[in-house]
Structure 1
Amino acid sequence: MRAVGLITEYNPFHNGHLHHLRASREAAGAEVAVAVMSGHFLQRGEPALLDKWRRTEIALRCGVDLVLELPFVFACASAPDFARGAVACLDALGVEALCFGSEGGDLEGLQRCAAFLDERAADIETGSAALLRQGLSFPAARTRVVAQLADGAVDGELLATPNNILGIAYLRALRSLGSAITPLTIPRLGAGYHDLTVGAGNIASATGIRRRLADGEAVTGLLPAAAEESVRQTLAAGLSPDYDLLHRLLLARLFQGRDALRSLHQVEHGLEGRLFKAAMASRSWEDLVQGVKSRQFTRTRIQRLLIYLLNAVPADEAAGLLAGGPRYLRLLGSSERGRRYLATVRRRARLPLLANLSRARAQMLRHYGGETEAFRQARSMLDLDVRATCNYTLLLPGWQGERRDRDYFETARQTEG
């Protein structure tokens, strides 16, 4: 069975995602669609609108066959680390193709840009650092340096749009892994990534949909029926993150003092003082982010840093986990067709497939031949995933579950078809 991989967040699953899913199957000639999906915290440093099990159920009902969770340490990370973790999961499972959305659908142009970034990495880093000191933001600095160094050989503007940036990161990850996966891209339809308006085909961005929901506006017709109903029920039950709760939890962490911040992931020298000062003055999540943000530290980077703070992610541990790559494949759900596919690939998958965490330790011990360094990394990676789930439930005003470590008693979702 030929499989196409999708790298997703589904926050929430909307009409554009449905188009991408269907177009990816067609472009790859695939029978099976495998989604590697972020868990409870996302690449831009935000909690997901719906928990990962609800998002899995929606994805399966809308036609995805297999949903794997991207471990937290990769899901809430910069584009290169996010891409490397997700591509490594798909590569370890053995999918034949990866299809991603891009602004223009120009695969050759994106591949040229990816190759150039790899070949001139040192020069680009040096040039970008110089422009950062002059006051440019990192994205603007890198775009300008690439345009200057490439001298027309590649289009530096490809680095100026969100989907292209991620697409190039996926291509670089495929190159670095020496993966046999075939890359494919389809042009994004409808509204742009950050647009708040509705585009052609009744396609709005996830950002625009979340803004409408936050403002109490209707999103009828912008999501498949299965997604719209689940979103409505989740919001009505108070089971979507409350940013006031997030802000208060972060303040409690920040008030532990500057010394407690210095050992955390991405807290560079001097940044702990900026964080502490912003905490003392902030009255909301937005105040806190704005109080720390600067030309050197983009909004997205600050949001990710705050999520590392929430989940107490040590710098040395995160660095080791990111360098080692994913250590397991976490199954969140499957269709009947997805289960048939798993039966054919399970034995040749290069990472242990975890469907039930009560058996995870034994599985990983067998796979890694005992308590090796790789096994210890797998345990640390899984511990972070579980911690992220526990902290996510603290953000839900309507949470009434008996336990917060849901990862240990939630089973992989299954649908027919």
Structure 2
Amino acid sequence: MLKMSARPDRAVGLITEYNPFHNGHLHHLQESRRVSGAEVAVAVMSGHFLQRGEPALVDKWVRTEMALRAGVDVVVELPFPWACSSAPDFAQGAVRALDALGRVDCLCFGSETGNLDALQACADLLCEHEQMVGAATEKLLRSGVSYPEARGRLLAAESGLQLSAAALAQPNNILGIEYLRALRLQQSTLKPFTVQRIGAGFHEVDVAEGEIASATGIRRGLAEGREIASYLPQPASGPLFEALALGRGVDAEHHTRLLLGRIFHGAAALRQVFLVADGIESRLLSAADKAADYEDLVSTVKARQFTRTRIQRMLAYILNDVHAEQVRTLMPAGPRYLHLLGASERGRVFLGACRRHLKLPLVSNFSRIYAILKRHYGENSENYRLALIQLDLELRTTRTFTLLMHRWNGGNRNRDFFETLKSP
């Protein structure tokens, strides 16, 4: 793909988790600037819980600092209900957040295929034949086929593209299609680009020295005590290693115990939680009586109609006691404010230029958030009520995350209120 001429105020959007920021992310960042001609890189990043339902390796501020040191200019949080959701909702929330800044010109995402036209054709098919695709997908799911495989089969059969079902079922291709679909459904002006992923695949856990490792592989390496520094950009690695040395990483045993405690509240409480449906609360309670750890719990609950990823997301909602009514009320409206986590000097200049174009309140810490939201929406408005739901969930997930750390510090539970804006 040819490089566009660079423009100092041109901004490219990146949709990320950075769990943690590694060499593959650096490649994506550099290539995104190259193909888009953008100087400013704006990342929408998941907070403390991720798309597949797992808690992040370290908190969102550490991951923000890593991204800024590696060259990202602005980091905005993707709120929990969208960050911990299926690919369509994850994409819808992230695109809404980028659009709300008002000055982001384009979106660049990584994909296994690197073929934007092919991914766009798939996105168009989903938009134009939603009912047909939905019914066919549901039929395959009932037969025991996983969601990615079902989606891949249908797109390969209906699109006429020279791409296999297996290729279209790859995780970043799936997300890329959903980003393009979200752009179309929201009539976004963001221009899409894609860069081909290099190095280890999303699920690969073992790589040779010097290769680009997956985030999954890096986390596995850390858990096993292996050397992982070579897989991280040198400027970005410092905040991660410092946080881990201070005990600010997630402790798997703490995670399991807190989760079991939530499940033991009983079937009636579980039925209120988002994604708990179809009698799965009975399987949860039975599994919780025997499970030795998180992996044991997930594998015991897993069944044909309950995929691993869905179970992990459901467990994240149980852990944070998030009720179905809250999510179903908030999701259709989209994020009601943006939480700014960090900015470089160039990012601060960009944000200054955004001020008149913002479509949502942009808040760097929550010390004045109630006053800001009241002033923006009006205290008695529906949007103010929705913003308070979003805020409640963000505060709750931060407080829960602090309980998962190896070393608990009570002062961290309210960091959203006092944490200063991160810079490189």
Do Structure 1 and Structure 2 share a fold, with TM-score over 0.5? yes
SS of equivalent residue, structure 2 residue 230: coil
Tell me if the contact between 1:113 and 1:154 (Cα under 8 Å) persists in the aligned partners: no
CA–CA distance in structure 1, aligned partners of residues 116 and 208 of structure 2:
23
Query: What code does the residue aligned with 1:66 have?
Result: V
Q: Measure how far apart 1:124 and its partner are.
A: 1.7
Tell me if the contact between 1:387 and 1:405 (Cα under 8 Å) persists in the aligned partners: no
Aligned twin of 1:352 = 361
Aligned twin of 2:256 = 247
CA–CA distance in structure 2, aligned partners of residues 330 and 119 of structure 1:
34
Aligned twin of 1:382 = 391
Q: In 2 relative to 1, CA 374–240 (structure 1 residues): closer, same or farther, beyond 3 Å? A: same
Q: How does 1:203-282 map to 2 (within 5 A)?
A: 203-282=212-291
TM-score w.r.t. the length of structure 1 is 0.96
Tell me if the contact between 2:68 and 2:74 (Cα under 8 Å) persists in the aligned partners: yes
CA–CA distance in structure 1, aligned partners of residues 328 and 203 of structure 2:
30
Query: What code does the residue aligned with 1:62 have?
Result: A
Q: Measure how far apart 1:156 and its partner are.
A: 4.1
Q: Measure how far apart 1:198 and its partner are.
A: 2.9
CA–CA distance in structure 2, aligned partners of residues 52 and 87 of structure 1:
19
Selected match of 2:40 from 32, 36, 40: 32
SS of equivalent residue, structure 2 residue 42: strand
**Are residue 6 (structure 1) and residue 14 (structure 2) matched?**
yes
Q: How does 1:270-349 map to 2 (within 5 A)?
A: 270-349=279-358
Tell me if the contact between 2:53 and 2:315 (Cα under 8 Å) persists in the aligned partners: yes
Q: In 2 relative to 1, CA 100–150 (structure 1 residues): closer, same or farther, beyond 3 Å? A: closer
Q: How does 1:120-135 map to 2 (within 5 A)?
A: 120-135=129-144
Query: What code does the residue aligned with 2:76 have?
Result: L
Selected match of 2:205 from 186, 196, 203: 196
CA–CA distance in structure 1, aligned partners of residues 167 and 332 of structure 2:
27
**Are residue 160 (structure 1) and residue 153 (structure 2) matched?**
no
SS of equivalent residue, structure 1 residue 34: strand
Give CA deviations for 1:59-116 in whole Å, capped at 9, x if unaligned.
1111111100111111111111111111101011120000000012100000000111
Give CA deviations for 1:103-157 in whole Å, capped at 9, x if unaligned.
1210000000011112222112212222222222222223223333445587644
After TM superposition, where is structure 1 displaced by more than 6 Å over at least 4 residues in a row?
none
Q: In 2 relative to 1, CA 19–153 (structure 1 residues): closer, same or farther, beyond 3 Å? A: closer
SS of equivalent residue, structure 1 residue 404: helix
Selected match of 1:61 from 56, 69, 84: 69
CA–CA distance in structure 1, aligned partners of residues 83 and 124 of structure 2:
24
Q: In 2 relative to 1, CA 199–32 (structure 1 residues): closer, same or farther, beyond 3 Å? A: farther
SS of equivalent residue, structure 1 residue 202: coil
Q: In 2 relative to 1, CA 199–18 (structure 1 residues): closer, same or farther, beyond 3 Å? A: farther
Work out the number of aligned pairs and report it. 415
Query: What code does the residue aligned with 2:325 have?
Result: D
Aligned twin of 2:49 = 41
Aligned twin of 1:19 = 27
**Are residue 83 (structure 1) and residue 94 (structure 2) matched?**
no
CA–CA distance in structure 2, aligned partners of residues 147 and 167 of structure 1:
15
CA–CA distance in structure 2, aligned partners of residues 184 and 244 of structure 1:
41
Q: How does 1:383-402 map to 2 (within 5 A)?
A: 383-402=392-411
SS of equivalent residue, structure 1 residue 289: helix
Structure 1, 129-138 or 275-284: larger mean CA deviation: 129-138
Structure 1, 85-94 or 151-160: larger mean CA deviation: 151-160
CA–CA distance in structure 2, aligned partners of residues 6 and 152 of structure 1:
26
Aligned twin of 1:411 = 420
Give CA deviations for 1:206-265 in whole Å, capped at 9, x if unaligned.
011111111000013110113333222222222111111111111111111111111110
In structure 1, runs of 5+ residues without a counterpart are none
Tell me if the contact between 1:190 and 1:201 (Cα under 8 Å) persists in the aligned partners: no
CA–CA distance in structure 2, aligned partners of residues 402 and 154 of structure 1:
52
CA–CA distance in structure 2, aligned partners of residues 238 and 38 of structure 1:
21
Q: In 2 relative to 1, CA 146–277 (structure 1 residues): closer, same or farther, beyond 3 Å? A: same
CA–CA distance in structure 2, aligned partners of residues 140 and 358 of structure 1:
46
RMSD of aligned C-alpha atoms? 1.6
CA–CA distance in structure 2, aligned partners of residues 342 and 106 of structure 1:
32
Give CA deviations for 1:133-192 in whole Å, capped at 9, x if unaligned.
222222222322333344558764443101111111100110111000000000001111
Aligned twin of 2:3 = none
Give CA deviations for 1:362-396 in whole Å, capped at 9, x if unaligned.
11112213321111101110110110000000001
Q: In 2 relative to 1, CA 150–3 (structure 1 residues): closer, same or farther, beyond 3 Å? A: closer
CA–CA distance in structure 2, aligned partners of residues 378 and 149 of structure 1:
40
CA–CA distance in structure 1, aligned partners of residues 172 and 48 of structure 2:
21
Query: What code does the residue aligned with 1:141 have?
Result: A
Q: How does 1:177-188 map to 2 (within 5 A)?
A: 177-188=186-197
**Percent identity among equivalent residues?**
56
Aligned twin of 2:155 = 146
SS of equivalent residue, structure 1 residue 301: helix
TM-score w.r.t. the length of structure 2 is 0.94
Tell me if the contact between 1:102 and 1:186 (Cα under 8 Å) persists in the aligned partners: yes
CA–CA distance in structure 2, aligned partners of residues 229 and 390 of structure 1:
24
CA–CA distance in structure 2, aligned partners of residues 129 and 349 of structure 1:
39
Query: What code does the residue aligned with 1:69 have?
Result: E
CA–CA distance in structure 2, aligned partners of residues 209 and 35 of structure 1:
21
